[in-house]
Structures are given as structure tokens and as C-alpha cells.
Structure 1
Amino acid sequence: MHRRHLSIGIVGSGFSGLGLAIELMKAGFRDITLLEKAGRLGGVWRDNTYPGAACDAPSHLYSYSFAPNPGWSRRFAEQPEILAYLEDCADAHGVHERIRFDSEVESAEFAEATGTWTVRLTDGTRLGFDLLVSACGQLSNPAVPGLPGAESFTGPFFHSARWDHGTDFTGRRVAVVGNGASAVQFVPIIAPSTSRLTVFQLEPHWISPKPDRVYPAWRKALNRRFPAIQKLSRLGIFLWFELLLNPALIAPAGRRALSVHIRALCRYALRTVTDPALRRRLTPAYEPGCKRILTSDDYYTALNGPGVSVVDSAITEVTADGVRTADGHNHPADVIILATGFRSQDFMAPMRVTGAHGLDLNSAWKDGARAFLGLAVSGFPNFFLMYGPNTNVGSGSIVHMLESQIAYIVQAARLLASGVTVMDLREDVLEGFDAAAQRRLSTTVWNQGGCDSWYLDERRRNTSNWPGSMTAYRRATRRLDPVHYRLVR
């Protein structure tokens, strides 16, 4: 039984925000507002609409455990289907009416005297909440490199996360800057219609075959009739990641085994590239797993196509009609697409967060983002993050991690509703957690694998990944221990 009314603000309506709202409602909380900057829910699955956009985690695991979808069309669901799934979940649980669309947060400030957060929107509106949760995620702000001369380019110029669906690629020369997860998905689709497609490779990736397949009608009917079958499929996928891939990324002995296996698998895929010299240029020099291993069955095939080329030389300038590289070559282009990923270290940008005693979160994180269990930061009472620092998984499904975080935040909401007005994480708890996490990360492939990845900040501090298994994270977040917090009743 809640002793006091609790108003809860959630910034974002992707997997994190929706899942949290649903579980808070199940726990009896009703005063919940989701602040969504766009006019539609969905987060990254609303924004990333480029051709071929799909998840690289199997559908049965990349979904809420409390909302299984027996009708997934294929093993790796594509963007439209994932977005429809999120909208169906919001409809089924009555979340839509709690979302305030077109409401971008400009700032949030905590008042310790009242134990409340004042949130200011970009239109000047002010809202008050007893509990504030940032559900913005790590991959919501596109990384746009400052290419000299970019403003002089006369053709379409856009980031893959802001895809221009009005651009026709037929017979046009297309420059793709970047060769990561988004590029390997859309390049094979647009390449056949172009007259020339040039991929400016920043660094080669380990790319393994994608074990995708369409689920036949009988399988979907079986899932509906016998839900346990789908649960077993989900469990099997989970155990594959937990017992094989995750230990290999973290433990030194496992790293050696993973390296041998992945190198063999990816080199098998590379055999589809007909040019031996290009095969060598597409083979990474860093250890497999240092960056997330990509999956594709058609990217390498697309690079064999007529008019498709890969450039390794760094871009020095964008001109009115193309791209110039450090080797002195000019590469004509009618369209430029940035496949340069996201600003993964900007957990809160562009929102400004001010905690107790005027402490700014950017200042608190001047030496690198850190949060206890990726959830709570000292000096920022009644405030939690989802998909915060050190909660990313190198393999597996982030949705499993999010559900662990949701369970923890629901406990925090219950504690606040019981009569606690301020709960502020103790500094020594944060310091102890962060030191242990960084110590464990120091021996992982992410830190020692010899690559530059979005897992590391400019100081090469790993602010992204969880240094253990998904099961270990579930155990660590299962019970909120009040002793970790300074409580005011």
C-alpha cells in the first residue's frame, strides 16, 4: 500500500521507457508521464528507418519477457515489425495516453527542500516530478563527423538514422561514409540501383554469416497454441549468449577460443569476396569481439557488384560534387550517406541535468560517465538512468538488461511512495562499484583487443559495457538495498 502519491516522469518512449511505464502501472502507480521529443513512440526503432534496418539479436530474446510475440515473421526482426511490436505493447497496457508527444526536455533540476524535480521543455513548459528517469539510451544521438567542406555539397547529404526517403538512388553516384552495423544492412539494398557506390571504410569489421530465416506459418501457429515452445526457444538463445559468447568476451581463456572460432567463421564469409586484395583490406587486424561482431549474408556479395568500391584512405574534404581523400583522389558523388554511428558517450545530451547543491551531471562526469549498476549517480537524488553507463552487453539482448533495471526502479518507486522524500546514492557506493567494474573491464577484449570502438571514451575508459553476464546483472539488481542510499523521510 502506497503511503503517499508519487508523480513519475520518464524521458523517452523506446524499449526502456515503455517497459518501465508498463511495470510501474502493474505495481499500482498511475501518475506517470512519458516525455517524448518526437510525435511517435519507439526510440531508435522509430528513428532508424533506413533500408534493411533490423535487429542483430534474435527476435524471441529481443522482446519483453512479459509480452512474448508468437507472430515474429523471422528470426531477426526488421525495423517496421519491431516498431509495430512496441506500439502494440503500448496499446495493450494503456501507455499511449500517458505519453506527452512533441515534448523535448531541455533541462531538469532537483530541489532538495521539496524532494522534487522540475523539468523544463524546449517550449518553456515546466513540469514537476517526485521521481525522474532518463530512458534515452546510449544510441539515440547520431554521430555527425565534422567533414571540412560538407556545407558545399550540392546533393542529398544525410545520416543513416535520419534517412531521406525522398532520395532516388537510381543511376546516381553514392558515397557511404562508414562501414558499421547500419552500412552492412543498407549497402546491399541500395547498391544495385546506383551507377557507382563508394564505401569509405573507417576500419574493417569482423562480419559473420547471419543465421536468419523466415518463420513458417505452422511455427507461428505452434507458438500461439503452445507458448512454452517459444519460451524454450528464448531460453535456448539466452543460454547460447550466456554460456558461450559472453564468457568468451570477458575471460582471457575464452577470448582465445572465441578468436579462433570467429576468425574461421568470418574468413569463411569473406570467401565470397572475389578480389584477393580487397579480402585482405576487409580483414581486421584487431581481436574478434573488440567491437561488436556484425552479421550479414549479403554485404560482402554487394562489394563484388559492378561499380562498388571500398576506399581506405581518410576523407580530407567534401567538395560540391564529391569527396576528396588523403591519397589525393577525388571521388565523384551525387549523394552522401553518413553511416557513422552514434554519440554513445552522450548519455543525457542535449538535456542538462542539475542535482543537489547545483551539481551539474556533465561536471560530475568530467572524468567519464559512471553510475551505480548503470542506474544511480551520487548527488542526483530520486533520479535513475536506463541503459546508462556500463550496462551495454557485448553479445545478447539489451532488453534483458532493461528488465533488470525496470525491476530495480520499481523498488525505488515503492521506497519513495512509502514516505521517503529523498534517496541519494552514497558516494562511496558509487566509487566502489565503478572501481570494481573498471578493474574487471581492463582485462576484457573490449579494452585489450586493439581497436577503437564506441565502447571507449576519449580517455579509452570503457563507459559502455557491463563486465559480466546478463545473469550476474539480474542478480545485482534483484534487490534494492536502502543502505546504499542516503534517505530522508
Structure 2
Amino acid sequence: MSKPLRYIVVGAGMSGILAAVRLKQQGIDDFTVYEKGESIGGTWRENRYPGLTCDVPAHNYTYSFAPHAGWSAFYAPGPEIRDYFEKVVDDFGVRSHLRLNSNVTACEWDGARWNVEIEDGTKDSADIVIAASGVLHHINMPAIEGIESFAGDMFHSARWNYDVSTAGKRIGVIGNGSTGVQIVTALSQQDCEIVHFQRSPQWIMPVQQFAYSDEDRAQFASDPSRIEALRNGDEYWGGIRRFNEAIIDPDSPAMEEIERLCRENLETSVRDPELREKLRPDYRAACKRLIYSWGYYDAAQRPNVAIEVGRIARIEPEGVRMADGTFYELDVIALATGFRADRFIRPTRVIGRDAIDLDDVWRERPSAHYAVTIPGFPNFFMLNGPTGPVGNFSLIDIAERQWDYIEQLLEPIRSGAKAQVECRSDAFDDYNERRTLAARDTIFGSGCTSWYLDKDGVPLTWPWSYDAFAEAMEKPRLGDFAYA
């Protein structure tokens, strides 16, 4: 006879919505999704900057159970992705399980259940906690001298202030990951002047963006097999496997091909030799998260855009002073400086068995066994947790595979045969040792700085193939777990 279980899900971004829908599909209604924000969407709620676009093809950045015929373009803009998540919440009837403006401040295991505290004083408890807090939600403010002194308008890209007009303004964009590249590309087509401050130039992988016509969308709606052909086609998955091979083997033909494409893109797209050299990175392609863009090099060559690759000395009331003395007078500064990617569920206080504090477990670096479980934290599971696969592919697919893995681990508990499950310490240590050694040899460890690296310069990523991760998620190695 099955045992009724109560679930608490932390976060209503992509992974939290997935967990809610999967629970609902299993006929489970005793669950609550606590979300710190005023709406759902996770990173797609946090980010609302000009030019926001997903760099995974739209039909691949959808849940397998919720294909969507209405995407406007091959790469979907951020507002459409937010709307898609809202639609999924309503289509699958999980909105009543959401508690918005409910920041989880503590999760504590009492030996049998998890006791959860919300910032407003609410208390709750559950048999199972799913940490679906995501990675990109704690904004990273740069440590630049004088940043508080700026007299103009300044905001982080995840707090874009649309009340501030950009028309006719002098705008400085600091940071050149995907966010900085997208902002500059979008603003370059407007009536403003832009200085793009780059800590280091980025390799740009050329891709083609195109709109879907009304006829395309009608065909997707009438024949869902057209969507599945895109989702499962060789063009997409061939690219994923090529990219993955390049990550884990920097000397592979796949990496040679990626570097050739990026190099040719720079050489053929940027006409001015001086600007071309400014935009040439001094590290290997994909060492940082590879930028996919169909318009940045065009933007960088527009007369209203200046590229600055020197070191910023300080920010002054009227603008930015470079280390060489150059001064840029600015009206607006946009900080495209990313997020603190080492936080995950923190600063929520998570206390496991025998009063183990997650902050202590993660003192050296955040880690989870196959990115899902942590020893000492029974019935606590992560979606897209630390050491999972990252790259230019869909994290929705990763989360769905992890959910299937979690469901299998929970079978003995749902049946009533067992009450709790956690990863064994020896399995966790073995995984970390193997992963750390392998991660050092990936392209992410080849000599650049990036948000993939921990404080010791070790990539916090899955260092093996995508197929290896899929295989690991198909069936848990039950010997790695302790049931009670």
C-alpha cells in the first residue's frame, strides 16, 4: 500500500514548475511550491533587459510534455518564455499550489520530516523537499572603486529600469557574457551612444535567427510531429554532441571545428583590423560559456558603439575612468555582470541529519552527487544542482532526466517500505574525486576566468559526456544510497 507523502518545492522557476506538474500528473496534491518572487519564471523573471533571448532553440527549450506551437522565432525572446511558463502552470492546474512572495529562509530535518520556515513567519513541514532554486538568481555586483558615486542611472541587467529612457543617452554596458552581448546588440539599433566595457573579449559562435510565420505556427499546431522533428532531430542533437565532445576533450576534432567556426566568424564579420584585434580573445573558444549571437559583430561596428577592452580603474560621478586615464562620460550604466553561481538554495539555512549545516558541507565548493543528492540530507533533492551539466543546451532536458531519477529513488518510500533515503558519504566522496579530476581537463579548465569555476579554479561542472549523464539518470545505483 502506498504511503501518502507531502512535498515542498523551493522555487517556481523552470525546475520548480516541472516538479509541480510531475507531482500533479502522478495524482499527488499534497505539495506546495514556495517562490520568493512576486511571479513565476526564475531567471526569466529576474532578467527583463533589452534583447533578452534564449540561446537554445525555442522548441528545444520546452518541456517534453508541453510542446508549444506559438513561438515567434527560432530563438525565443524572454517575454515569450515567461508567458510559456505561465501557460504551463495553468494548463496543468498547478497554480493553486504556488505561494508567491514566500522566501524560504530555513529547512531543518527533525529526524522524520523537513520543517520549513518562510520569511513572513509561516511554518510548514514535509516528507520530501525538492530544491528547485536554480543557479542564476543572486545578482553579482562588481567590486569597482567608486561604484556608489555615479550620479546617473545605474542598474544591474536583472533589475533593468524601464522608467529610464535610453533615447539620446550615453550608456555604458559593463560585462560581455550573453547578457552584455544581447543588451549591446539591442541598444545599438536605438538612438543612443554605447560603450561596451569588456573584461575580456568573447568568442562568438555564428548562428541564424529567423521568425516563424503564421503558416509555420499553424503547421506546428496541426501536426505536432513537426515540433518533435525539431526537438529530436540530428541537427540539434548532433550539435549538442559535438559541443559536448569538445568540452571534455579540448584536443578533439570537435573542438577544432568549433574554434574554426568562431575564428572565421571574427575574421569575416569584423572589417576594421584594429577593432578585430580588440575583439579577439586570448583564450580558447568555449573556455567561457560560448556566446551564440547572430548580430553582435554588426552591433560592435555601428558608429554609435565603442568597444573598450582596457581595465576599469574606477567609476566617478560623471562616468567611467580607465586605468590608462581615458574617461567615458555617461548618463546610464548597465551592469551585465551576471549572478553568483555558487549559491543555489543559499542563503536559505539548510540543516540536515545530526545538525549538519549545508554551508559547512559546501565550505570548499558546492557539490551534489550527480547534481541531485547530498549525504546527511535525507529526502532532500536538487534539480539542476551543483556539478550538473552546463553549456549551450536545454537545462529543461537535464531537469526532466533528474526528476525521473528522483522518482526512482522515492519508490521504496512511496510504497511505505522505507521512510527516508540519502546518498552515502563514500559514494559522494568517490563521485567528487572522479569529477574534480576530470573537470580540470575540460575546456572550462583551460586557462580563462568564468562563472563555471570554483574559488580554486576547478570547473563546477559535469565533466563527462551528455550521454553519460543521461545514462546515469536512467537508473540510480542503489548501492550509492542508504535507506531507513
Counterpart in 1 of 2:370? 373
Does the 8 A contact of 1:71 with 1:220 survive in 2? yes
State yes or no: 1:319 paired with 2:333. no
Measured after TM superposition, the shift of residue 438 of structure 1 is 1.9
State yes or no: 1:469 paired with 2:468. no
Counterpart in 2 of 1:168? 165
Q: CA 1:204–1:263 in structure 2 vs 1: closer, same or farther (change >3 Å)?
A: farther
Alignment map for 1:294-373 (pairs within 5 Å):
294-373=291-370
AA partner of residue 85 (structure 2): L
AA partner of residue 402 (structure 1): A
Q: 4+ residue stretches of structure 1 with deviation over 6 A?
A: none
Counterpart in 1 of 2:425? 427
AA partner of residue 481 (structure 2): Y
Three-state SS of the structure 2 residue aligned to 1:440 is helix
How many Å separate the matches in 2 of 1:469 and 1:249?
A: 9
Three-state SS of the structure 2 residue aligned to 1:271 is helix
Name stretches of at least 5 consecutive residues in structure 2 with no aligned partner. Answer: none
Counterpart in 2 of 1:83? 82
Counterpart in 2 of 1:108? 107
How many Å separate the matches in 2 of 1:196 and 1:265?
A: 27
How many Å separate the matches in 1 of 2:334 and 2:342?
A: 22
Q: CA 1:261–1:122 in structure 2 vs 1: closer, same or farther (change >3 Å)?
A: closer
How many Å separate the matches in 1 of 2:259 and 2:75?
A: 20
1:104-138 CA-partner distances (Å, limit 9, x unpaired): 111211111xx111111111221111111111111
How many Å separate the matches in 2 of 1:253 and 1:321?
A: 47
How many Å separate the matches in 1 of 2:289 and 2:432?
A: 23
How many Å separate the matches in 2 of 1:261 and 1:146?
A: 33
AA partner of residue 423 (structure 1): V
Greater alpha carbon shift after TM alignment, 88-97 vs 231-240:
231-240
AA partner of residue 370 (structure 2): L
How many Å separate the matches in 2 of 1:269 and 1:313?
A: 20
How many Å separate the matches in 2 of 1:195 and 1:226?
A: 44
Counterpart in 2 of 1:43? 42
1:130-152 CA-partner distances (Å, limit 9, x unpaired): 11111111111111112222222
Measured after TM superposition, the shift of residue 259 of structure 1 is 3.1
How many Å separate the matches in 1 of 2:191 and 2:154?
A: 16
State yes or no: 1:441 paired with 2:432. no
Alignment map for 1:134-153 (pairs within 5 Å):
134-153=131-150
Counterpart in 2 of 1:251? 249
Does the 8 A contact of 1:259 with 1:287 survive in 2? no
Counterpart in 1 of 2:197? 200
How many Å separate the matches in 2 of 1:370 and 1:206?
A: 29
Does the 8 A contact of 1:209 with 1:266 survive in 2? no
AA partner of residue 74 (structure 2): R
State yes or no: 1:457 paired with 2:454. yes
Measured after TM superposition, the shift of residue 70 of structure 1 is 2.0
State yes or no: 1:125 paired with 2:125. no
How many Å separate the matches in 2 of 1:380 and 1:8?
A: 15
Does the 8 A contact of 2:185 with 2:295 survive in 1? yes
Three-state SS of the structure 1 residue aligned to 2:392 is coil
How many Å separate the matches in 1 of 2:318 and 2:108?
A: 47
Measured after TM superposition, the shift of residue 252 of structure 1 is 4.2
Alignment map for 1:2-41 (pairs within 5 Å):
2=2, 4-41=3-40
Greater alpha carbon shift after TM alignment, 68-77 vs 236-245:
236-245
1:408-438 CA-partner distances (Å, limit 9, x unpaired): 2223343322222221211001111112222
Q: CA 1:261–1:481 in structure 2 vs 1: closer, same or farther (change >3 Å)?
A: closer
How many Å separate the matches in 1 of 2:188 and 2:118?
A: 41
Greater alpha carbon shift after TM alignment, 259-268 vs 471-480:
259-268
Three-state SS of the structure 1 residue aligned to 2:168 is coil
AA partner of residue 460 (structure 1): G
TM-score normalised to structure 2 length:
0.95
Does the 8 A contact of 2:71 with 2:217 survive in 1? yes
1:345-392 CA-partner distances (Å, limit 9, x unpaired): 112222121111111111101121111110000111111111111113
How many Å separate the matches in 2 of 1:314 and 1:257?
A: 33
Counterpart in 2 of 1:479? 475
Three-state SS of the structure 2 residue aligned to 1:407 is helix
Does the 8 A contact of 1:286 with 1:451 survive in 2? yes
Q: CA 1:258–1:110 in structure 2 vs 1: closer, same or farther (change >3 Å)?
A: same
How many Å separate the matches in 2 of 1:342 and 1:292?
A: 14
Give 2:274's match in structure 1, choosing from 274, 277, 300: 277
How many pairs are equivalent?
482
Three-state SS of the structure 2 residue aligned to 1:317 is strand
Does the 8 A contact of 1:411 with 1:480 survive in 2? yes
Three-state SS of the structure 2 residue aligned to 1:175 is strand
Three-state SS of the structure 2 residue aligned to 1:208 is strand
AA partner of residue 467 (structure 2): T
AA partner of residue 432 (structure 2): D
AA partner of residue 40 (structure 1): S
How many Å separate the matches in 2 of 1:445 and 1:370?
A: 20
Alignment map for 1:213-228 (pairs within 5 Å):
213-228=210-225
Counterpart in 1 of 2:408? 411
Question: Alignment RMSD, CA only?
Answer: 1.7
Three-state SS of the structure 2 residue aligned to 1:328 is coil
Does the 8 A contact of 2:138 with 2:340 survive in 1? yes
How many Å separate the matches in 2 of 1:212 and 1:433?
A: 39
How many Å separate the matches in 1 of 2:79 and 2:139?
A: 20
Q: CA 1:220–1:379 in structure 2 vs 1: closer, same or farther (change >3 Å)?
A: same
Does the 8 A contact of 1:238 with 1:396 survive in 2? no
How many Å separate the matches in 2 of 1:15 and 1:193?
A: 32
How many Å separate the matches in 1 of 2:82 and 2:263?
A: 30
How many Å separate the matches in 2 of 1:126 and 1:443?
A: 45
Greater alpha carbon shift after TM alignment, 271-280 vs 409-418:
409-418
Measured after TM superposition, the shift of residue 222 of structure 1 is 2.2
Measured after TM superposition, the shift of residue 288 of structure 1 is 1.1
Does the 8 A contact of 2:243 with 2:254 survive in 1? no
Greater alpha carbon shift after TM alignment, 379-388 vs 433-442:
433-442
Three-state SS of the structure 1 residue aligned to 2:124 is strand
AA partner of residue 427 (structure 1): S
1:266-312 CA-partner distances (Å, limit 9, x unpaired): 43345333321111011111111111221222212222222421112
State yes or no: 1:210 paired with 2:207. yes
Q: CA 1:21–1:378 in structure 2 vs 1: closer, same or farther (change >3 Å)?
A: same
Q: CA 1:195–1:79 in structure 2 vs 1: closer, same or farther (change >3 Å)?
A: closer
